[in-house]
Amino acid sequence: MDLSIDVKTAFATIANLELKAKIAIAAVIVALCLTISAFIDTRYIASGSGVTLYWKGSETYIFTEQSHTGYHISYLQLPVVVLMQFYWTPDPSNERDCSVVIHVTPTDVERQRGPCGAQEVKGTLITPYDNKFFALCQSALLCKWTIDGYVMATPEELRKLDPTTLPTLAREDGQVISGWTLHYSPGPGANYEVPLSDGSIISVINRQKKAHSFPWIEVLLLRAGQKPQNLYDVDATPHKATAQEYIATFPPQ
């Protein structure tokens, strides 16, 4: 009997068992990590970015996008979300919208803030009429913007302005409605300037670099002899949030 062959066979058998054991242990570790990652999540916040701008003479109203959507995403789900972010997103865990309008005059910049809440605090089809700004609010009811947010239109205003006429108005960029010129957010990598009659300039920039990326709208106020004033600067790219930031954005009700 060749003992050297038996010894080699024994060592090969032990090595093979060790390899199988290592593979088994690695498989258990991977399974354990995947299981744990399915129950541990991270918080992400996606903010809306955009403006609807009306200007006339030396006055400007900037209706800003101030929506926030919060996600609790497990680490197991995170790679899929990152890969599919332009085509699919998980159901949001939290949503919050705030109405903020920036009113620019030759002597002042006023931030008019409405209440924060769900989507019903937001007005759509914003339309200037009779020196006021009307919109369609929850349930397609006619409302108007005030320094305290949107309020329902009065019966007299309803008689003057039929809410069914708001959707029929053509709303092309650069259109003049009731003396006010309308502008939306520019496209990716584009910008425009609004020359006010007092010499001030409103500059609106989209810092979004690619079509398949998120908008990043910045609005600057340029006045002679003054440093540029940043009125609005929101990058819509979802970002990982700390627990403190998440709670501050979505405070408990």
Give the count of beta carbons closer than 10 Å to the beta carbon of residue 23.
Answer: 10
pLDDT band at 95 (very low <50, low <70, confident <90, very high): confident
Quick check: is 18 in a domain? no
* Tokens 């937001």, residue located: 122
Once rounded to an integer, what is the mean pLDDT over residues 214-220? 96
pLDDT, position 37: 46
pLDDT, position 29: 56
pLDDT band at 101 (very low <50, low <70, confident <90, very high): very high
pLDDT, position 1: 46
pLDDT, position 247: 87
Domain count, the chain: 1
pLDDT, position 188: 93
Once rounded to an integer, what is the mean pLDDT over residues 158-181? 85
pLDDT, tens only, 6-17: 545 554 555 555
pLDDT, position 246: 85
Per the structure, the complete domain to which residue 78 belongs is given by 40-249
From 57, 51, 50, select the one nearest 176 (Cα to Cα).
Answer: 57
Quick check: is 20 in a domain? no
Residue % of the chain over a pLDDT of 90: 41
pLDDT band at 25 (very low <50, low <70, confident <90, very high): low
pLDDT, position 204: 98
Quick check: is 108 in a domain? yes
CA distances from residue 247 to 78, 102, 241, 252 in whole angstroms, order as listed: 21, 26, 10, 7
Question: What is the full DSSP assignment across 19-47?
Answer: HHHHHHHHHHHHHHHHHHHHH-EEEEEEE
Q: Residue 130 and residue 60: Cα distance in Å, rounded?
A: 16
Question: What is the full DSSP assignment across 164-222?
Answer: GGTTTS---TT-EETTEEEEE---TT-EEEEE-TTS-EEEEEE---STTS--EEEEEEE
Once rounded to an integer, what is the mean pLDDT over residues 86-98? 70
pLDDT, tens only, 196-207: 999 999 999 999
Quick check: is 123 in a domain? yes
Quick check: is 2 in a domain? no
pLDDT, tens only, 107-125: 999 999 988 876 556 788 9
Asked if pLDDT for residue 236 goes beyond 60, the answer is yes
Quick check: is 26 in a domain? no
More confident position, 111 or 95: 111
pLDDT, tens only, 126-157: 999 888 999 988 877 899 999 989 999 999 99
pLDDT band at 30 (very low <50, low <70, confident <90, very high): low
Quick check: is 3 in a domain? no
Quick check: is 15 in a domain? no
